[in-house]
């Protein structure tokens, strides 16, 4: 029995030391640089494929995408790399799904980074206000590589669409919200109007955590690529405050 206990303790010690080594490896500067490079490459190569998925990519579409990329607040170096990756994806010379699979291999423990990839693609795909079947099919394929099934992606699409609609509607917690804006606010948080205050707060905090710029940078996301996440947290906060204000009046 004592020998068995010693073996078990030795196994626990070795396992703990391995976990410490592995954690250090995942947080190393070299690993972060690799994450950054593969994140950018996957993000914009797939963006190019999304643009091409509904047919020929016109010069107007390229110009529109370049404008979106510019609005994301990327550094000049990352902007050039993003445009190059976009053109490669649109031309079909690079397989974006394979790049996503490679990114997934080195970002297994970085759920927030995977979610931000989906947010980037959805922002670009929804820039024209709609999501074509061909675009949705490609999104299903890349989402599967990141560990998101179709139902999970559909929920994310619904929330991202609602967050954009809430922003466009000018949601403002300082004045009463029309019923349509209030309904969109609930969708933006991924809950229904029947959610309790505790459930509402839990959903709100979860979304803030998933899109928190500092946490994303800590996981390896380039600092100049968090603008989209920053804007999303503002939309999430505004939706939550609108709902809270309406509930306070109702009570």
Please give, one letter per residue, the 3-state secondary structure of 115-133.
Answer: HHHHHHHHHHHHHHCCCCH
Q: Give every CB contact of residue 67 below 8 A, 6+ residues apart in sequence.
A: none
pLDDT given at position 221: 72
Enter the pTM of the model: 0.72
Interatomic CA distance for residues 183 and 166, integer angstroms: 9
Neighbouring CB atoms inside 10 A of 88's CB total 19
pLDDT given at position 51: 83
* The two structure tokens encoding residue 9: 């303790």
pLDDT given at position 140: 96
pLDDT given at position 16: 45
Q: What is the residue-wise DSSP string for 69-126? A: HHHTT--HHHHHHHHHHHHHHHHTSS-HHHHHHHHHHH-TT-HHHHHHHHHHHHHHHG
CA distances to 77, 144, 150, 175 from 69, rounded to whole Å, are 12, 25, 27, 34
pLDDT given at position 128: 72
Instruction: Divide the 251 residues of the chain into consecutive groups of 10 and give the mean pLDDT of each group.
Output: 50 46 53 79 90 72 70 77 88 91 85 86 79 91 95 91 76 62 89 93 92 79 74 88 86 69
Pick from 151, 117, 122: which is nearest to 50 by CA? 122
β strands within the chain, DSSP E = none
pLDDT given at position 172: 56
């Amino acid at each position: 029995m004592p020998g068995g206990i010693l073996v078990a303790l030795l196994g626990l010690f070795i396992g703990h030391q391995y976990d410490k080594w592995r954690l250090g490896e995942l947080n190393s500067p070299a690993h972060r640089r690799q994450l950054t490079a593969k994140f950018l490459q996957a993000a914009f190569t797939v963006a190019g494929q999304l643009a091409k998925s509904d047919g020929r990519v016109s010069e107007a579409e390229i110009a529109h995408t370049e404008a979106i990329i510019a609005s994301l607040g990327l550094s000049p170096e990352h902007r050039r790399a993003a445009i190059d990756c976009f053109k490669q994806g649109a031309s079909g010379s690079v397989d974006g799904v394979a790049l996503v699979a490679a990114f997934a291999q080195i970002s297994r423990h970085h759920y927030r980074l995977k979610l931000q990839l989906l947010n980037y693609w959805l922002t670009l795909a929804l820039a024209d206000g709609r999501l074509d079947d061909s675009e949705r099919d490609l999104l299903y394929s890349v989402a599967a590589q990141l560990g998101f099934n179709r139902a999970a992606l559909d929920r994310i699409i619904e929330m991202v669409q609602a967050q954009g609609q809430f922003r466009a509607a000018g949601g403002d917690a300082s004045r009463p919200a029309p019923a349509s804006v209030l309904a969109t606010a609930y969708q933006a948080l991924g809950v229904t109007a029947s959610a309790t205050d505790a459930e509402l707060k839990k959903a709100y905090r979860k979304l803030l955590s998933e899109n928190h710029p500092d946490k994303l940078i800590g996981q390896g996301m380039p600092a100049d690529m968090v603008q989209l996440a920053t804007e999303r947290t503002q939309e999430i906060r505004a939706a939550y405050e609108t709902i809270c204000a309406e509930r306070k009046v109702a009570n």
